Amino acid sequence: PRCQGAAARAWLEAQQANLLPVGYFHVVFTLPAEIADIAFHNKALVYDLLFKAASQTMLTIAADPKHLGVRIGITAVLHTWGSAMTHHPHIHMIVPGGGLTPAGRWISSRPAFLLPVRVLGALFKRLFLTRLLELHGAGKLVFFGKLAGLSDRRVFLRQLAPVRRKRWVVYAKAPFAGPEAVLAYLSRYTHRVAISNSRLIAFDQTSVTFRYKNYRCSGADRQQVMTIAANEFIRRFLLHVLPRGFHRIRHYGLLAGSARKANIACARGLLNATPPPDQTTAEDPADVRPPCPCCGGRMIVIEIFQRWRQPRGPPNTMATNRENAP
């Protein structure tokens, strides 16, 4: 819904205020298709495991003296959809290029290189599969329909066999347009689900037409149009409804918990950066406006209409017009 835009803008402003004067990296952890099916039947457990395995992978490799040897900061956002609204769980991370050593020094990464993606992928696979098997062994995973047979341990292990052999790909790249562009990209999906209004082209009582990106194509062919039945569109949309109370946005490392402000201040001091201006002291008339009754976001004035007043004229103008009227 459009009314969630105010909450997304507020989140974006809060994240921009915490940006450090270093290069930032965009990191993506994606689950293989075989695991995505398991995740759909166990959203709360497997999505939470995805967060934990991905964050621990980043923190562990970054703290290794063979790589950076520092404690990094991570902002992670869960996405469960692809451009065509299919089930495609993955996590986007925004990571500053560097971190604090145990001795309190700041060490920066190389400008175009954060951590080796093959090492990240190997550790991520090991951590995730180990804990997934523990959840299955504890009887915490449930399966329905065509996947009901996965409740059996041997069937479950056969399902994971090809996943164990393949290489899990982790994407890590410094954003060309700067961290603000990646934060802006993430903010469009922090408070919305699956598709934005701008991608909807047409709909009637039987079908919905929308734009999507086909990542198997390049150039102008990547932007394509899809028409699907209305009930299929609703089914795809509902795939991405999260369990009640599940947090889609999480922070780790330097950006986690109550020490977040202190860590940011320490990093700014080591980088000789001036803190952003305090925006809480300025009086903003919008702050006193009532919240939106639907989402609780801050109301925004779109237009103000002035009260209409009858134009003044000579005392006998109206009488003259009445007399001369046909």
Mean pLDDT, the chain, as a whole number? 84
> pLDDT band for position 82 (50/70/90)?
confident
For the cut 60, the answer to whether the pLDDT of residue 297 exceeds it is no
Mean pLDDT of 208-225: 87
Does residue 26 sit in the same domain as residue 14? yes
DSSP 110: B
Q: Which helix (H) or strand (E) holds 89?
A: strand 87-96
140 and 204 housed in the same domain: no
Specify whether 228 is located in the same domain as 266: no
Question: Which DSSP state fits 71?
Answer: B
Q: What is the pLDDT of residue 257?
A: 86
Could you tell me if residue 79 is inside a domain?
yes
Query: The domain containing residue 163 runs over which residues?
Result: 4-194+240-271
User: What are the strands, taking DSSP E only, across 17-86?
Assistant: 24-30, 73-81
Helix axes 33-41, 153-165, angle to 10 degrees: 140
The residue among 1, 184, 209 whose CA lies nearest residue 85 is: 209
Encode pLDDT of 224-251 as tens digits. Answer: 999 999 999 999 999 998 998 899 899 9
Residues 67 and 204 in one domain: no
293: in domain? no
Q: Are residues 132 and 88 in the same domain?
A: yes
With respect to residue 262, please indicate whether it lies within any of the assigned structural domains: yes
Residue 234 and residue 156 in one domain: no
- For 8-28, write each residue's pLDDT tens digit: 788 888 888 888 888 889 999
Q: Do 201 and 170 share a structural domain?
A: no
pLDDT, average across residues 98-111? 91
**193 vs 252, higher pLDDT:** 252
* Alpha carbon distances (Å) from 88 to 54, 154, 273: 16, 26, 39
Burial code (b: 16+ CB inside 10 Å, e: under 16) for 222-231 equals: eeeebebeee
Taking only the tens place, the pLDDT of each residue in 166-205 is: 999 899 988 767 778 777 877 776 777 788 888 899 999 8
Is 258 in the same domain as 232? no
- Looking at beta carbons, which pairs linking 199-202 to residues 24 or more positions away fall under 8 Å? 201/225
Question: Can you tell me the mean pLDDT for 24-40?
Answer: 92
Co-location of 227 and 249 in the same domain: no
Q: Do 201 and 113 lie in a common domain?
A: no
Q: How many domains does the chain have?
A: 2
Residue 277 has pLDDT above 70, yes or no: no
Q: What is the band of 121 on the pLDDT scale with cuts at 50, 70, 90?
A: very high
Any domain includes 88:
yes
- State residue 191's pLDDT score: 73
